[in-house]
Amino acid sequence: MLAVNLALGWRLAIYLVAGVAAGIANGVAGGGTFITFPTMLALSVPAVTANVSSTVGVLPSYLGGLRGFRAQLKTQHDLIRSLIPVCLAGTGIGCALLLLGSASQFRLIVPWLIGSATVLFALSPWITKRLANIEHDHPAKKWALQFGIFAVAVYGGYFGAGLGIMLLAIMALTLPDDIFTLQGLRSVLSTIINLVAAVIFLVRGHLETSAVIMIFIGAFLGGWLGTLLIKRLDPNVVRGLIVAMGVATTIKLAIS
């Protein structure tokens, strides 16, 4: 753990670098909070404060995804509109659970949530093949998508790290689109969920202000860089990065 009395200038620099790295991660595969959350813990920021500060700080990183996947999102407007209500409701419930719950409970459950999402996403190609006989407009898949996004939004309001992985996992199982279209949808839904959570946390307070400001600046730049990178990668490489990120974060949080 880094020294509590680390000079302010160094702390600000670390937050800025973490913000850039988180922005790149969110642009490539999601999971930027995997970087900012542990960084703040290492700088002795309490867990719940680190969580809400990360949620607010990494928000700009999703803007790059909105710009970078405009072509893929042109035909997805109706789908996005249909998912907004469950995103809003789920995020509100998740934020309430976080703010009203205990810090010890929060630290205990997070590794399990991230690990489960990573396994689900890693297995999604196999599961999708097993479900190939079900039409993509089958009502069961539509309901599964709605319920799945609602559950992920609850998670996103409770703990932002791994949100992108969970969204991709649900959509890979319920939608017929390619990985880049799913990445675009992930960017839109992540933005909605994180924006709602950020507003709630800003009103509620208890943020690490200096961290939020520096991460916010870094994430804005990093998100743009990450989106440029992902469109030059093979879909299998993208999937591998997502799974690797989820595994590493699960292990880190489980042993911390």
Quote the pLDDT of residue 120: 73
**Which sign, positive or negative, has the C-alpha torsion 164, 166, 171, 172?**
positive
Are 22 and 162 within 8 A, CB to CB? no
Phi, psi of 63 (to 5 degrees): -65, -35
Quote the pLDDT of residue 1: 47
Across 128-167, b (16+ Cβ under 10 Å) vs e yields eeeeeeeeeeeeebeeebbebbbbbbbbbbbbbbbbbbbb
Quote the pLDDT of residue 44: 85
Quote the pLDDT of residue 57: 92
Pull the structure tokens for residue 147: 């319920």
Q: What is the mean pLDDT of each run of 10 residues along the chain (256 residues)?
A: 69 93 73 81 86 90 70 84 96 94 82 79 69 60 90 91 78 80 85 93 88 93 73 67 75 76
Are 46 and 104 within 8 A, CB to CB? no
Cβ within 8 Å of residue 251, ≥6 positions away: none
Quote the pLDDT of residue 198: 92
CA gap 213, 5 in Å, rounded = 20
CA gap 117, 162 in Å, rounded = 8
Task: Report the residue count for the chain.
Answer: 256
Quote the pLDDT of residue 200: 94
Are 68 and 126 within 8 A, CB to CB? no
CA gap 11, 94 in Å, rounded = 30
Quote the pLDDT of residue 187: 82
CA gap 5, 57 in Å, rounded = 22
Pull the structure tokens for residue 217: 């600046």
